[in-house]
A and B are shown apart, each in its own frame.
Chain A
Amino acid sequence: MTESPVTPPDLECRDIVRDFGDTRAVDHVSFDVPPGSFFSILGPSGCGKTTLMRMIAGFQPPSAGDILIKGRSVLDVPPNRRPVNMVFQHLALFPMMSVAENIGYGLRRQGLGRSERDEKITAVLDRIGLPGTGDRRIDQLSGGQKQRIAIARCMVMEPDVLLLDEPLGALDLKLREHMKVELKALQAAFDTTFVYITHDQGEALVMSDRIAVMNAGRFEQIGTGPELYHAPATGFVAGFVGDSNRWTATVETRAGDGGTIRTAEGLTCSVASLPDAPGGQVTAFLRPESISLGDTGASGDGRNRFDATVDTVYFNGANSHLRLTVDGTAAQLDAALPQTGAFQSVRAGDRIAVSWGADKLVCFPDAGN
């Protein structure tokens, strides 16, 4: 963290709670976003992330807690006076106005004169790479252009924080991939704090400096992409971020931090670190790329080694994987299939040796989810 005590975070939420009748949509959420960073809130639909964002924008008051922008509480500031702007899920560009009028709407509200407005509109259109489009109607723009106009319409207001509510959701896959990179570049160019909510882990991992994983109204973990991926704090994070093989298992033996577990399918493996698990029930996660194929190394180094049969080969370029069944058990697992040439001849029905390190198997007390 580079933040010093003299510069307060751009956005800080303290213990935010939001109730709708008997349901608690947001449950004691606290976080802060340092200036100029890209912060994502990642969670499945219905986890409360949109409610949280609407509270930051000012469309809903929190039931409890405080929201601070640049160190000042904004709870009694109405949405039209908050130094926060929002890019809506469906962008909410005004169809009755031209591109320039859309961008100029906020500037007119600030009471800027015509020449000053035109200057700013031209500047921001240049900046997002759409110069000379000011006279276009909104329905003449492509999906990606609308996206950029919606961001420009907010950025021209020079907000302290820009909120983005799943703005890539409506785009097709190819454009979404492209816009991910572009959004990150725009954030760097404007040097503004972005708070981005999404249910798409790919978007969050690619763009964010830090990510909060949200589930059932709570933050499960806040961290960088690699932290969430390699060191998930909860079973939910392990299951939600990235692909995993997932088993319910019982602790068989304990030795120091680690021990061995036996999955419901009959697979017994050693684990480097076991949590305290009442009743000995755990959920174990193993990344497909942690599984080494064709390993014939000596036993006794603590690695889990099994012989397996290939059920199916799923070819998908760099994301190819194998579905295997471990011999003598009902345990199925997905293993990444490296496209380096060594395993090009693998076919369904082949026998193959698999192994993974005891530290690659991550276990959490079984929470029943």
Chain B
Amino acid sequence: MSARLSLWLLMLPVLLWLGLLIILPHIDMFFVSLRTRVGVGEYEYGLANYAAFFTEPLYLRTFARTAIMSVLATALTLVIAFPVAYFIAKVARGRWQGVLFLFCLVPFWVSELVRTFGWMILLRETGVFSSVLQWAGLADGPVEMLYNDAAMMVGLVYTSMLFMVVPLVTTLQSLDDSLVEAGYDLGGNGFTVFREIILPHAVPGIVSGSIVVFMLSLGNYLTPTMLGGKDSLWFTEMIYSQFIVRFNWELGAAFGFLLLALSSFIVWAALKLSGQTLEKTLG
């Protein structure tokens, strides 16, 4: 009896957290997304908001763009983070391991706003890169590198790095060095050892890192707003503008639900494709 009671008491904070902050708002949002305002204080219930999304090409295009760019950002982060993680886990020794890990962490001591502003200082027309290019004679006039997809992608990858490096370092550290040596001993070269031994071993870390990075990119608002230009619309910006600018909570709520469905679908598809389960990745 008392054991059961203490179990419930222990679970209470997490249940409250889930219930009040996740489940309750979503139920409310779901109902908001189903209604349409027809007059002052008058609402009609139906799928009109979802229909509006599917009939407006701008919404659909931004939605697809956000998904594709997020997948791309995840893939880029993985490609850049893997060698970094491998170096930290397997090549660096002793204190260097901790120091390098700290270097990955340091950027996260400042706020995301300041970090993104750092990129603006580097990339803007009067910024560091532009000046250096002019000084070196490689450019005739000021070069604007901000406000395009490439700048936004740089920002997304930079923001996500740590969340890919950490799970990768953890899984790679659990790889027994003698497995790699055995791979060479039995005639493998660097490529085959990587493909047949290191990569299969790292799959759980790759999947969990990718899920986190993908979710962070998809739900990112600051980086696309600051680094991406007017042409680089992000779906979160549309949700923001519906809620805050247009004061159309009903459409905003529908967008929010569509984004949730999209991220759930892509994560599910990625798990299916890689043959992993959520339990295996998290455990």
List A residues at the B interface (Cβ < 8 Å): 57, 59, 78-81, 84-86, 88-90, 92, 94-97, 105-106, 109-110, 153-154, 157
Contacts and interface: CB of A to CB of B under 8 A. Distances in A.
Contacts of A106: 186-187
Residue among A78, A86, A89 with the highest chain B CB neighbour number at 10 A: A86
10 contacts: A57-B185, A59-B181, A88-B181, A89-B178, A90-B176, A92-B181, A94-B179, A94-B197, A95-B201, A96-B200
A79 B185 CA distance: 5
B25 interface: no
A88 B178 contact: yes
Interface string B171-202: 00000101101111111110010001100110
Given A92-B176, A96-B200, A85 B188 contact: no
Nearest to B179: A92
Contact of B182 (A78, A81, A88, A96): A88
A40 B197 CA distance: 31
A258 to B, nearest CB: 51
Nearest to A153: B186
B187 A92 contact: no
Residue among B181, B187, B197 with the highest chain A CB neighbour number at 10 A: B187
Interface of B: 176, 178-179, 181-189, 192, 196-197, 200-201
SS of B interface (majority): helix
Contacts of A86: 181-182, 185
Given A89-B178, A94-B182, A94-B197, 12 more contacts: A57-B185, A80-B186, A85-B185, A85-B186, A86-B181, A88-B178, A90-B178, A92-B182, A94-B196, A96-B200, A106-B186, A153-B186
A157 B187 contact: yes
SS of A interface (majority): mixed
Contacts of A154: 186
Contacts of B179: 92, 94
A59 B183 CA distance: 12
A109 B195 CA distance: 12
Given A92-B176, A92-B179, A80 B196 contact: no
Contacts of B187: 80-81, 106, 109-110, 157
A215 B183 CA distance: 31
A210 B185 CA distance: 25
Contacts of A90: 176, 178
A105 B188 contact: yes
B200 to A, nearest CB: 4
B125 to A, nearest CB: 51
Given A90-B178, A94-B179, A109 B186 contact: yes
B205 to A, nearest CB: 13
B182 A80 contact: no
Contacts of B176: 90, 92
Contacts of B200: 96
Contacts of B196: 94, 97, 105
A80 B179 CA distance: 13
Contacts of A78: 184
A110 B185 CA distance: 12
A109 B191 CA distance: 11
A63 to B, nearest CB: 20
Contacts of B186: 80, 85, 105-106, 109, 153-154, 157
Nearest to A110: B187
A127 B188 CA distance: 25
A80 B184 contact: yes
Contacts of A97: 196
Nearest to A54: B181
A80 B176 CA distance: 18
B182 to A, nearest CB: 4
A26 to B, nearest CB: 19
A59 B177 CA distance: 12
A85 B179 CA distance: 13
B192 to A, nearest CB: 6
Residue among B176, B178, B182, B188 with the highest chain A CB neighbour number at 10 A: B182
Contacts of B201: 95-96
